[in-house]
Amino acid sequence: MTLTEIILGAIGSFISGYLISYFKEKGKNKALLGDIKRLTEEKERIISDYKLDIEKRKYKYESKKEQYFKYFNLIDEFGKSGNDSFYRDFFPIVDTFNKDFLSANGDKERELEVLNNFTSSLNPMLSKSNENLVRLRAETKTIRLIANDKVQGYLDKLDQLYDISFERSADMLRSMGNNIISNNQALIDKQNQDLQSLGSMINEVHEQLVIEIKKELDEI
């Protein structure tokens, strides 16, 4: 074998080895690029899913917060409206009743008329209170759709207490005329104490409801 043949053979072997190595590395690079592309797509998908989850949580939080705020604002509105109505309407009705009853001067027919007028004068107050209760009940049904079990439990308690409070308040007002005439202050005091006790229970459950709602929102 001549020197030229040896050199050409060496060059051929070198080129063959280089080409084999080149194509092997090219295959590796192609696979690597494929892996990088796949990982990039996976990363983008995870980021997209994460952003979507964050947006869903944000929407859920804002939606629940808005509904709960609306519910509590309605309670505050009814409380203020009830207090305003009591001082604006109830005391004048009682004053009129006392004056008319005293002016009856023992006339039983006139006293009965005064008592009936007193009871009739209370009906608009009771009707307004009942309307407020119905509105609150409707709003309660709305937030039940988004509330967890504990929140719904507190809502059940409040519904029961509101019903009892309304009925006892109505009974007290309806019987007040007779109790004033018969000077039954003991019964009036007892009715007041019962209503105050109910008010304390409502406030306690209301505070527990607020705490549970805050927990629910924090967990979103």
CATH number at residue 186: 1.20.120
Express as a percent the part of the chain with pLDDT over 70. Answer: 81
Return the residue matching tokens 């001082």: 87
| The pLDDT value given to residue 145 | 87
Q: How high is the pLDDT of residue 11?
A: 47
Domain-embedded: residue 42: no
Residues of the chain with pLDDT below 70 are 1-37, 39-40, 43
DSSP result, 52-63: HHHHHHHHHHHH
pLDDT digits (tens, 9 = 90+) for 98-120: 899 889 888 888 988 998 999 89
At residue 161, the pLDDT reads: 92
Q: Tell me, yes or no, whether 105 lies in a domain.
A: yes
Report yes or no: 122 and 61 within 8 Å, Cβ to Cβ: no
Q: Domain span at residue 164? A: 61-218
SS3 1: coil
202 within 8 A of 165, measured Cβ to Cβ: yes
What CA–CA distance (Å, rounded) separates 72 from 128?
19
Task: Tell me whether residue 47 is in a domain.
Answer: no
Q: How far apart are CA 74 and CA 135, in angstroms?
A: 9
Record the tokens describing residue 103, joined without a space: 């002016």
pLDDT tens digits along 43-60? 677 777 778 778 888 888
Query: 117 in a domain, yes or no?
Result: yes
Count of the separate structural domains present in the chain? 1
Instruction: Give, for 91, the enclosing helix (H) or strand (E).
Output: helix 91-104
Quote the pLDDT of residue 96: 92
First to last CA, the chain: 84
What pLDDT is attached to residue 35?
52
Q: Which residues, other chains included, contact 27 with Cβ-Cβ below 8 Å and sequence gap of 6+? A: none
166 assigned to some structural domain: yes
Residue 120 lies in a domain: yes
In the prediction, which pLDDT does 28 show? 52
In a domain, 33, yes or no: no
Residue 117: C-alpha distances to residues 97, 109, 179 (Å)? 8, 12, 15
